[in-house]
Amino acid sequence: MLVYSGIKTDFLQSVEDGTLAEEVRQTIFEKMGRRTPESEYRAFQNSLTSMYIVMNDSHIPSNSGVAIEYNIPQTAKRVDFIVSGYDGEKHPSVVIIELKQWDKLTAIDGVDALVETFTGGALRRVVHPSYQAWSYAQLIKDYNSTVQDMEIQIRPCAYLHNYVRKENDPIDESWYSEYLEEAPAFTKHDNNKLREYIKKSIVTGDDKEILYYVENGKIRPSKSLQNSIAKMLKGNSEFIMIDEQKVVYEDVLRLSGLCQKDGRKRTIICQGGPGTGKTVIAVNLLAELTQRNQLVQYVSKNSAPRQVYLQKLKGSFKKSSVDNMFKGSGQFCDAPENMAGTLLVDEAHRLNEKSGMFHNQGENQIKEIIHASLCSVFFIDEDQRVTMDDIGSVDQIKRWAREEDSEIYEMELVSQFRCNGSNGYLAWVDNILQIRETANFDLEDIDFDIRICDTPGEVRDIIFEKNRTTNRARILAGYCWNWNKQQAKNTSYHDIKIGDFEMSWNLDGGEPFAVSDTSVNEIGCIHTSQGLEFDYVGVIIGEDIRYVDGKVITDFTKRAQTDQSLRGIKKLNKENPEEARERADQIIRNTYRTLLTRGMKGCYIYCVDPELERYLKERINAYNSKKVNT
């Protein structure tokens, strides 16, 4: 959808008349139902004035097409400014320009394509403008069939018209070079350079004809995108499916295919505990459905699994259009109905009601995901809801599916492939944490290395040794120690101190905690480990769970003040103490259940509470004694 389109002379005249910004604001409201805030409107006026100066060049064809606010079909992404025409060899050509109001930014090393700048009323981490322009161009090339068939050239760039560039500027740091080459970043005094960039691509005008072709192109994944993800998946042992995983995979393929044929919505709920292969199925479906010409996306609320599985897919590829296939769960607030063929929602139990940094956007993430796709697939484990904001449940999914007139299908994954294939270990964890009574009150027939350590240093030593060969061992902890944001890159600052033991929470070093070579020297929490798996884990259990008078009890007052998992619990405790205790109790037990089941081969535990340590040792030692006697 184009909010505004015309030819260059129309654009220039409307800016001179002072009518264009208001025209665009009114069209946004009429077509999208969105009111433009006054601050955004003023910024938009400034950007249009800057583009007027750039476009006011006699060598840019007067009948070249100009578009403003192009909503990339089937997505919620918008391109700020487009110029269309033909290049010197008569090839159809489009220049897309990402406009920024920023006047300064900070480069971030070790993190792919991110910068820090003041935007949206706060200092935030956002993508480098060249990356953003490149990714939008890639999205159009990857999914617009007309662009593919007509071989329309898409040339992206960014224009920071308030930004004064200096020598050795952070915007030009070497780690951004790959994106700057693909999409140059022009700044305040680069008007002539931006003009030359446009003139190289737009030699003759098109009377906005190419804009029409781009806007009306059918959605179809390109062959290059299909080949790219297929190549990444082929032979990748991380994503091999076995047993019932393959059964669920084939069922979802069949139902998703039906959606594309008959146009009916279908919602699939796939329940499965830790290690049952939910993510493996999701990534395989992502690749296969893309091969079948669908627009498919992998969705999760938590960024950690997205980053890790994307990196495992890409391997040594740094810049790949596959990046556009991994989305956060809050990106569908304004998405049009059925914009995607299939949305694959991993860790669906972590979905929130509202979206955005301040939890004030949209109505309900579950509803918005179902609305935005013909086929929605929710991979869920209700026992892994670990924050007050987690609303993902089977009942909620069914409720919103019915409201969206979507058929509902339920599937289940039972066999566990984590913890050395032992469903018994998971049942044992439920038993010892007193989540539920199970027959697995001991570790009989469970091939899994579990130890209760006397000190946190002992946990560290074991994990260091286990990690030497494969980099697949990590230390995790309950969120009972404050995380100091100001020290997030300081390797010498230690958040977690227990006696003479000191370590840091996972540092802000760039690579995801689960795959970074240095993460073994740090401690991960629920937010950086949920949805992921390791060979071995060490778990430090804090004072929020203890053993008192024969019972495992929880205490939310021992959680760190910086932990957002229990945000709102104090207020709820004043209004309804019983409900507050019940909700906090479930979250704390689910948190440790999740941490204790991240390892595939072994788990090594230290308890801050000595009584809990004694209790766990007794449970394990009783089994060990039984083995010796038999």
pLDDT at 383: 92
Question: Coil, strand, or helix at residue 94?
Answer: strand
User: Which range among 6-10, 182-186, 416-420, 539-543 shows the weakest confidence by mean pLDDT?
Assistant: 416-420
Is 200 inside a domain boundary? Answer: yes
Residues whose CB is less than 8 angstroms from the CB of residue 424 and which lie 6 or more positions away in sequence, other chains included? 440, 443, 444, 445, 446
More confident residue, 616 or 111: 616
Structure tokens at 135: 């990714």
Is 424 inside a domain boundary? Answer: no
For residue range 151-181, list pLDDT tens digits in order. 999 999 999 999 999 999 999 999 999 999 9
Contact 117, 174 (CB under 8 A): no
Do 344 and 479 have their domain in common? no
Residues 271-297 have a mean pLDDT of 92
Nearest to 284 by CA among 304, 270, 273, 274: 270
Do 104 and 145 have their domain in common? yes
User: Which range among 290-299, 410-419, 494-503 shows the weakest confidence by mean pLDDT?
Assistant: 410-419
For residue range 239-258, list pLDDT tens digits in order. 888 778 999 999 999 999 99
Q: Which DSSP letter does residue 332 get?
A: T
pLDDT at 445: 67
Residues 218-243 have a mean pLDDT of 83
Do 189 and 310 have their domain in common? no
Residue 25 has pLDDT above 90, yes or no: no
H/E segment holding residue 298: strand 296-300
Is 423 inside a domain boundary? Answer: no
Residue 604 has pLDDT above 90, yes or no: yes
Do 58 and 83 have their domain in common? yes
pLDDT at 294: 94
Helix and strand numbers (H, E) in the chain are 20, 24
Is 418 inside a domain boundary? Answer: no
User: Which range among 442-456, 488-502, 571-585 shows the weakest confidence by mean pLDDT?
Assistant: 442-456
Contact 385, 419 (CB under 8 A): no
Could you tell me the strand order of the sheet in which 114-119 lies?
Answer: 106-107, 114-119, 122-127
Contact 483, 505 (CB under 8 A): yes
Q: Outline where 157-302 has alpha helix (H).
A: 177-182, 191-201, 209-215, 223-233, 244-262, 278-291
pLDDT at 136: 92
Greatest pairwise CA separation for the chain in angstroms: 94
Last residue of a domain, one of 379, 413, 447: 413
Do 242 and 295 have their domain in common? yes
Question: Across the chain, what does the average pLDDT equal?
Answer: 90
Cα end-to-end distance, the chain, whole Å: 73
Provide the residue range defining the domain that includes 326.
223-413
Contact 589, 554 (CB under 8 A): yes
Do 177 and 271 have their domain in common? no
Question: Coil, strand, or helix at residue 34?
Answer: coil
More confident residue, 436 or 621: 436
Residues 531-542 have a mean pLDDT of 94
Do 296 and 257 have their domain in common? yes
pLDDT at 628: 43
Residue 202 has pLDDT above 50, yes or no: yes
Do 270 and 185 have their domain in common? no
- Whole-angstrom distance, CA of residue 579 vs CA of residue 515: 38
Residue 378 has pLDDT above 70, yes or no: yes
pLDDT at 155: 97
Do 388 and 475 have their domain in common? no
For residue range 78-135, list pLDDT tens digits in order. 899 999 999 999 999 999 999 999 999 999 987 788 999 998 788 888 999 999 999 9
pLDDT at 630: 45
Do 142 and 42 have their domain in common? yes
pLDDT bucket at 620, cuts 50 / 70 / 90: confident
Assign residue 227 the CATH number of its domain.
3.40.50.300
Residue 415 has pLDDT above 80, yes or no: no
Do 259 and 136 have their domain in common? no
Last residue of a domain, one of 215, 240, 259: 215
Domain count for the chain, please give it.
Answer: 3
Is 544 inside a domain boundary? Answer: yes
Measured from the Cβ of residue 528, the count of other Cβ atoms closer than 10 Å reads: 24
Residue whose structure tokens are 């977690």? 496
Is 279 inside a domain boundary? Answer: yes
Is 284 inside a domain boundary? Answer: yes
Is 311 inside a domain boundary? Answer: yes
Nearest to 293 by CA among 326, 260, 338, 320: 260
Do 211 and 227 have their domain in common? no
Contact 142, 221 (CB under 8 A): yes
pLDDT at 629: 46
Last residue of a domain, one of 167, 183, 215: 215
Structure tokens at 192: 């002539």
For residue range 545-597, list pLDDT tens digits in order. 999 999 999 999 999 999 989 999 999 999 999 999 999 999 999 999 999 99
Residue 485 has pLDDT above 70, yes or no: yes
Structure tokens at 81: 């400014």
More confident residue, 625 or 558: 558
Distance of CA 498 to the CA centre of its chain: 33
Q: How many percent of the chain have pLDDT more than 70?
A: 93
